[in-house]
Amino acid sequence: MPASEKFPMSAESRSARKNVDESLVLRTYRDLKEIARLFLARERIGHTLQPTDLVHEAWLRMADDAGPDGRTRADFGVLVGQTMRRILVDHARKRAAVKRGGGARRLTLHGGMFTNSDKDFIDLIELDDALNRLAEMNPRHAKVVELRYFAGMTVDETAAALNVSDWTVKGDWRVARAWLMTQFEN
């Protein structure tokens, strides 16, 4: 893709990213470990836990500590969103590969009895592929989806992170979401 079409990361954002407070990151890391413990211990049925829950939880804790200003938080969010997407998709791909390889999984007596929802779920691999296609056509739209879906950012936070107006984020999200959904129709 030509450079001109690439989504430009604001210079401000770039430099701010380097300044993400290290102690903040360490604290968040520690917090996330604790959150992970909670998640492992207490999965709720009827509530489909999402990665954004994890990120939100981290942010709530950051806010509790009277922590970062909006800027740092936005930069942190960008990193989290992007990493979250990559990790989740990598794992989905690995699992798919393992499944095809016939790797046997031990099922416990009661395993699997709660896969009960008739809700539609997203296929991570499909989403990732579609997002890659979207990024080729409009990188900013893809970025908005990544931030909102994988980092759980609000419109305001997304706007701050991308250095654009709220209005732009709303429009981008609406178009990108509708387009992505058409990609999953079949």
Stretch 98-157 residues interacting with another protein (CB under 8 A): 98, 100-104, 106, 108-110, 113-115, 119-122, 124, 127-128, 132-134, 136-138, 141, 145, 149
Question: What is the nearest approach in angstroms of another protein to the Cβ of residue 103?
Answer: 4
* Spatial separation of the C-alpha atoms in residues 151 and 107, rounded to whole Å: 32
Q: How many residues does the chain have?
A: 186
Q: Choose which of 11, 40, 66, 118 interacts with another protein (CB under 8 A).
A: 40
Contacts of 182 (CB under 8 A, 6+ apart): none
66 near another protein, rule: CB under 8 A = no
83 near another protein, rule: CB under 8 A = yes
Contact (Cβ atoms closer than 8 angstroms) between residue 62 and residue 73 = yes
Question: What is the nearest approach in angstroms of another protein to the Cβ of residue 40?
Answer: 5
Can you tell me which residue has the tokens 């939100």? 56
Token pair for 186: 């079949």
165 near another protein, rule: CB under 8 A = no
60 near another protein, rule: CB under 8 A = yes
167 near another protein, rule: CB under 8 A = no
CA dihedral 91, 137, 154, 60 (to 10 degrees): 30
Q: Choose which of 35, 155, 160, 169 interacts with another protein (CB under 8 A).
A: 35
Nearest Cα neighbor of 6 from 142, 172, 125 is 142
Question: What is the nearest approach in angstroms of another protein to the Cβ of residue 164?
Answer: 15
Question: What is the nearest approach in angstroms of another protein to the Cβ of residue 154?
Answer: 13
61 near another protein, rule: CB under 8 A = yes
Gyration radius of the chain's alpha carbons: 18
